[in-house]
Amino acid sequence: MAITLESMRADIAEMIHEDPDGIGIEDNLMDLGIDSMRLLNLILKWQEDGLDLDFAELADRFTLAGWWEAIETKQAGAGSRA
């Protein structure tokens, strides 16, 4: 199952008990409450959804835009191998 920007936003919002519409594309997710443990939990969820991610791919870019760029690149690469 492909992860979309909106499904990512919804997963992050659920993790921090916020409305998805309140999470801007360039908001610092650490400022919103995403710490390393929550990031690990999100990565595990997205791995269950079929995306092969690791912590280092997202740890240095704590915005939704940065994470989406990494995930979009990863999904494009996975699609070309299928």
Question: Could you report the per-residue pLDDT of 42-62, keeping only the tens digit for each?
Answer: 999 999 988 988 899 999 999
Domain CATH for 62:
1.10.1200.10
Task: Give the CA radius of gyration of the chain.
Answer: 12
What pTM, to 2 d.p., does this model score?
A: 0.88
Domain boundaries, position 29: 5-81
Mean pLDDT calculated for residue range 3-18: 96
Distance CA 38, CA 42 (A): 6
Instruction: Tell me what the pLDDT averaged over the chain comes to.
Output: 92
Find tokens 């999100």 and name the residue: 42
* Spatial separation of the C-alpha atoms in residues 78 and 34, rounded to whole Å: 26
- Number of domains the chain contains: 1
